[in-house]
Amino acid sequence: MMPYRPAVRMVPGPLWQRNLRKGRFIPTSRWDKIKAGVFDQHGLTCQTCGKVETEQKRLNVHEEWEYLTDRRPAIARLTGLKISCWHCHMIEHFGVLENMVRSGELTQQAIDNTVEHFCRVNKVGRDEFNEHLARAKTEWAHLNQLKWEVDWGEYAAVVEETALKRKQRGRRCEEDRGEEDEDQALYHWPYLHSGEPW
């Protein structure tokens, strides 16, 4: 069976916060430049479903990871960055979406529309989605149990350079602050609260 695109691939718990975008591993200014480069290259188009947006804020630069679990510790490798529309991104991070609905920030409609998007893009029915989701959750529960090392892929050099500079400065960078924020803060995009219909 062909892998689904988009697919539910929730980030294992031990790897939360380990990403490029929050200023913890590279400066936020550097991340902004990387992001701008991705948009320059691909425009305002979701690289998963092809949806074209008119505003950059409606798209996310999604980090794609592969999880190598045939070794200990397991390795999470950053394989690339991809422009993702809101629905494709929420499919990838389906657990975040469910939490936002649970907390009342979004309604059930957001889940329904996201599942509909999955079915439309992958040309499958709701049963296939449910089966895929159940599998993804089982896999995620397994990945949550592992110890992990991060391989930053093509960004390894900049991560290393940042760590070195920060060490030399002997203090934590401005950007480090707030790293404890729940990762979900990322999804609090302004237009979510604009009353715009799904």
| Residues in touch with Zn ion (CB under 5 A) | 46, 48-49, 51, 85, 88
Closest to Zn ion by CB, 121 or 133:
121
Q: How far is the CB of 89 from Zn ion (least distance, A)?
A: 8
Closest to Zn ion by CB, 48 or 162:
48
CA distance 159 to 164: 9
Strand ranges of the sheet holding 148-151, from the earlier edge strand across to the other edge: 59-68, 74-85, 148-151
Q: How far is the CB of 114 from Zn ion (least distance, A)?
A: 11
Q: How far is the CB of 88 from Zn ion (least distance, A)?
A: 3
CA distance 21 to 34: 10
Closest to Zn ion by CB, 112 or 161:
112
Q: How far is the CB of 147 from Zn ion (least distance, A)?
A: 33
Residue reference for tokens 């050099």: 157
